[in-house]
Structure 1
Amino acid sequence: MQLFSSKSILNKFRVNILKLILVVIILIGLLCVINLIGVEDIKGNIESLGLLAPLAIFILRFTSVIIPALPSTAYSLLAGGIFGFKQGIVIICLSDLFSCSISFFISRYYGREIAKKLIGNRFMDKVEKISRKHLENNFFLMTGFLMTGLFDFVSYAIGLTKTPWRKFAPALIISILLSNPPVVALGAGLLQGSKVILVIALFCIFLLALISSKLRRTNAL
C-alpha cells in the first residue's frame, strides 16, 4: 500500500516538473518572438486594431473557461504583454467574472448533462469529484480552489451543489483579484523588460502554485 502511495507521489512530482519545464519553454519562446519582431512593432500592430484586440483576448479567455479543455493561462500573459498591466488585468478579470458566473449557472439551472456536453466525460469526472468536497460549507476552501488552475472546473462543480450565488460571487471575486495579477504582471514584465515586475510576478506565481499544490494534495485531487 505504501509502495503505491510513493509511486503516486513520484508521478505527481514528475508531472509538476514537466509542467514547470513547459512554462519555462513557453516563456523563452515568447521572449525570442518578441525580440525577433520588436516591441514597438508589436504594440503598433495591436494599436491599429483598436477595440478588436482587447475584445479578441476577452473572448478567447472567456471561451477557454467555458470549455476548460482549452488553455487559458496564455491569454493572461498575452493580455499583460500586449496591453500592459492595468488594461490587461481589467480584460482578464472581467472575462473570468463573466465566464465563471456563466459556468456556475449552467450547472445550476441545466444540470450535469449540459455541463458534460460542454466539457466532456473526462473533465466531467473532475468536476463531480470537486463537487463532492463540500466546498459550500467552507468559504475559504472554496475561495482557495477558485484561486488554483482548476478554477474553471470549480465554477461548474459549485453550480452542482446547493451553494447560493450570494456565497459563490464573493469567493469568485476575491480569487480573481488575488490569482490573476501575478500572471498578467508576468506578461507585462516580459514585454516591458522590467526585471522588478518579472521577479515580483514570478514570486507571486510560485506562492499560488504552492497553495494549489497544497489544496490538491490535501483533498486528493
Structure 2
Amino acid sequence: MPGYGKWLKIIVAVVAFVLICFFLHKYIQPLQEVVKQMGFWAPFGLFLLRGVSIILPALPSSIYSLLAGSLLGFKTGYTTIVLSDLLFCSGAFLIARKWGREPVSRLVGQSAMRRIDGFSQNQLEGNFFLMTGLLMTGLFDFLSYAIGISRTHWRIFAPALLISVLISDSIIVAVGAGVTQGAGLILGIALLAMFALATMTGLLKRKSHHSKCD
C-alpha cells in the first residue's frame, strides 16, 4: 500500500532524528573538545561533507546541518552550511545546465536521476515561488539539478536559492544548537518550523504533480 510506505518512511526518519539528537545531547562535550582542537578544519570538513552530499544527492545532507549547529554553535554552523549550500547547489545547477541530463545521470545514479526527472518535467522555471518553496525542503539537492536541466536562467535560480537557503538552513542548524545548549525555546520553535517545512514539502510536491498533469 503506497500510503503505508510513506508513513513508514516518515516514522523511520523521525526515529532516526530523535536518536541523533539524543546521541548529540549525551556525548556532545567530548565531541566539542575534539572540534576545538581541530580549529579551522572542523567547519571546513563539514563544509566539504555537506557539499559532497549535494553533488551526490543519494547521500543524507540534513545530518550535517544538525552537526554544524551542535558542534560549531549556531553562528559558525549556520555560516558554514549556508556557504556550502550556495556554492555546491550552484555547482549542481551549472553542471546540469551546461552538460545536460546524461552527465548528471552518470554522476548521481539512476535512482536519484528518476527523482530529478520528476521535478524537471514539472516546468518549475515558470513558477519562482514554487521553485523557492521546494528549494527550502530536503529535496533542494535534487531540485538544483532538475532546475538546471530545465534550462532555467541563472538570474532566476540564484535569488530562489539564496532565499530558500537562508530560511531553511537556519531551522535545522538551530535544532542542532538547541539540542546541545539546552535552549528549550529555540529548540521548540525550530522543531515546529521543521514540521511546517515537512508539511510544505508534501503540499508543494502535490502542487507540482497537479501542475504536471494539467
Q: TM-score range by the shorter chain?
A: over 0.9
1:69-96 CA deviation, whole Å, 9 max, x = no partner?
A: 1111111011111111011100000000
Number of residue pairs the alignment of both structures matches: 210
Match of 1:3 in 2: none
Give me the CA root mean square deviation: 1.5
Equivalent position SS for 1:77: helix
1:130-188 CA deviation, whole Å, 9 max, x = no partner?
A: 00101001000000111111100000000011210000000000000111101000111
Equivalent position SS for 2:58: coil
Match of 1:54 among 43, 46, 54: 43
CA distance in 2, matches of 1:12, 1:216: 13
* TM-score, structure 1 normalization: 0.90
Range with bigger deviation, 150-159 or 23-32:
23-32
Range with bigger deviation, 42-51 or 98-107:
42-51
Equivalent position SS for 1:133: coil
1:133/1:78 Cα in 2 relative to 1: closer, same or farther (>3 Å)?
Answer: same
Match of 2:18 among 3, 18, 24: 24
Q: How does 1:73-112 map to 2 (within 5 A)?
A: 73-112=62-101
Larger Rg: 1
Deviation at 1:42, TM superposition (A): 3.1
Contact persistence 2:24–2:180 (CA under 8 A): no
* TM-score, structure 2 normalization: 0.93
Q: How does 1:145-184 map to 2 (within 5 A)?
A: 145-184=134-173
Match of 1:137 in 2: 126
- Identical aligned pairs, as a percentage? 46
Equivalent position SS for 1:26: helix
Q: How does 1:202-221 map to 2 (within 5 A)?
A: 202-220=191-209
Q: How does 1:180-195 map to 2 (within 5 A)?
A: 180-195=169-184
CA distance in 2, matches of 1:29, 1:217: 34
CA distance in 2, matches of 1:44, 1:10: 43
CA distance in 1, matches of 2:63, 2:44: 16
Equivalent position SS for 2:15: helix
Consecutive unaligned residues of structure 2, counting only runs of 5 or more, are none
